[in-house]
Amino acid sequence: MLIWLALSCFLCVFIEARKLTPFDLDTSCETFTNHNTDYEQTLYKLWEAHSERINHPLMLNLQKLDKFYGYVHADEENLLHKYNSFDNVSSTILNDIYAELPFLNNNIDNLKKYKENAIYILIRNYELDDICETILNYVNRVVYPYYDFVFLNDKAFDPYFIEKTSHYILNRINKGSERLAKQLIRISYGLINNDIWDPLQNIDEYNPSLNLTRLKENWEQQEKDNVLYGGSRSYRNMCRYQSLGFYKHPLLNDYKYTMRMEPGVKYTCDFDPFLELRENTKYAFTIALLEYENTIPTLFDTYKEYPFLKYKQAELFKFIQGSDDGYNRCHFWTNFEIISLDWVRSVEYNNLMDYLDQKGGFYLERWGDAPLRTLAVVETLNVNEVQWYDIGYFHNPFSSCPGSYEVRKLRKCCCDAWDPENMDKIPNEDAPNYNVPLGLQDFSCLKEWWKFGEGKHFLFKDYDNLFT
């Protein structure tokens, strides 16, 4: 009896203690836990509601699957929310904006163009802390970070996720920029239709030649054979969605360019995803790598059988051409990419994607979105429509960092162009990547890009105004 009493007392204290620290899930974000505001109380209530499965209005909205595909979070100061169009905004407000964003040249069309860009994030609720870190890093590193955000998920976003991410995006350190953020940034949270996300649910309609039981056996085998994510159905859905799905989501309808952001990535230099785009650019990347062979055994042969095959520009094809006319496995690493949505919505792009999709390789093998995007680039774009971003970026386990000291200084980089861990080692046959600058290691395809793509650029004249 005594033991039982002691135990229940201990449990009570434990539960009470947990109640006092509702944010114990969020210890990685100190800025959050150090404040004790009404805002926190609201979040706490949302979190409680969520954990007790009480349906919060946001949650209910997100769950109306058939009619409702998303929730747009706009502050009450948001200009498009308030006035519907920048044309209806008073000149006093516009002049304040022009004063803070000099690159707009006092021109409303430039403002509209600036707002055609969005940060796009496909994410799961449990990746909240990692995306928080990335958002905080982004708002500090991007020169004019007033772009819209579009979050997509195959499951309903929980209200806690919505409240917290939007708070981090909108509430900036400096008061002036905070107002601007609230006036300009719209943040959308979208749900992905299940039939689009997971076509195997209607497998006969999707591809009658596939069989779910056989696929599952196949995946088990691939897992045993160490195919990366070989056993995962959701990873395959993700790769397919990134290849041919995301740009069809209604929440992206109003945009012309997206930058893909992923939870946990770091931007280690100042940059601006859209102001640095050249006029012609349809696709931009920062890291290029070799793909794992066992994820794409038949991809290249399948591509070469594409009935409309033309490789728009022979020069660009050399980027992926190996010896014996095979695939050298070079691909743009898509976890950082800037995409012209007009390009991915084009008939040419979609014909190729639909053809590859029908061949079943996303599910029979484990085709990644990166080699598919790369084939689409090679198939449909010219060299001058592809841009290499010489920026600091880290996504475990690879990074990029400008090779030029002057660029690192201009962009205030906190990264090393050489792998610091291996600086004092001498490359040898077993370890050819020791003491080799980023981009020149044997698993990197940047050297191929510098050779067959746009060449290697250091300082661009146009950047002077952006970073100084």
Ligand X SMILES: Nc1nc2c(ncn2[C@@H]2O[C@H](COP(=O)(O)OP(=O)(O)OP(=O)(O)O)[C@@H](O)[C@H]2O)c(=O)[nH]1
- Using CB atoms within 10 Å of the CB of residue 396, give its burial: 0 to 12 exposed, 13 to 18 middle, 19+ buried: exposed
The two structure tokens encoding residue 82 = 């308030």
> CB of 73 within 8 A of CB of 186?
yes
The two structure tokens encoding residue 4 = 């039982």
153 is a contact residue toward ligand X (CB under 6 A): yes
Helix-then-strand count for the chain, H and E:
23, 13
Site for Mg ion in 330-349 (CB under 5 A): 335
Cα-flanking dihedrals φ and ψ of residue 266, to 5°? -125, 140
Find the helix packing angle between 159-170 and 175-184, rounded to 10°: 130
Q: Which does 448 bind (CB under 5 to 8 A by kind): Mg ion, ligand X, none?
A: none
Q: Which does 381 bind (CB under 5 to 8 A by kind): ligand X, Mg ion, none?
A: none
Order of strands, sheet of 393-395, starting from the edge strand that comes earlier in the sequence: 266-267, 393-395, 398-400
Q: How far apart, in whole angstroms, are the C-alpha atoms of residue 112 and residue 191? A: 26
The two structure tokens encoding residue 65 = 């699957």
Please identify, among the stretches 73-81, 117-125, 292-300, 447-455, the one whose residues bind ligand X according to the rule CB under 6 A. Answer: 117-125
Nearer to Mg ion, 231 or 360 (CB): 231
Q: How many residues bind ligand X (CB under 6 A)?
A: 12
Site for Mg ion in 211-270 (CB under 5 A): 262
Catalytic residue numbers, as ranges = 337
Q: Which of 263, 273, 402, 453 binds ligand X (CB under 6 A)?
A: 263
Q: How far apart, in whole angstroms, are the C-alpha atoms of residue 403 and residue 411? A: 12
> CB of 333 within 8 A of CB of 377?
no
Residue 88 CB, nearest distance to ligand X (Å)?
36
Query: One symbol per residue from 123 to 152: x for binding ligand X (CB under 6 A), - otherwise; what is it?
Result: xx--x-------------------------
Nearer to ligand X, 111 or 199 (CB): 199
Residue 251 CB, nearest distance to ligand X (Å)?
14
Residue 159, H or E segment: helix 159-170
Site for ligand X in 311-340 (CB under 6 A): 335
Q: Which does 234 bind (CB under 5 to 8 A by kind): ligand X, Mg ion, none?
A: ligand X
Residue 263 CB, nearest distance to ligand X (Å)?
5
Q: Which of 96, 133, 223, 262 binds ligand X (CB under 6 A)?
A: 262
Residue 224, H or E segment: helix 212-224
Q: What is the DSSP letter of 444?
A: B
In the chain, the amino acid numbered 67 is K
Residue 395 CB, nearest distance to ligand X (Å)?
6
Query: One symbol per residue from 232 to 261: x for binding ligand X (CB under 6 A), - otherwise; what is it?
Result: --xx--x-----------------------
Residue 11 CB, nearest distance to Mg ion (Å)?
39
> Which residues sit at the interface with Mg ion, rule CB under 5 A?
262, 335
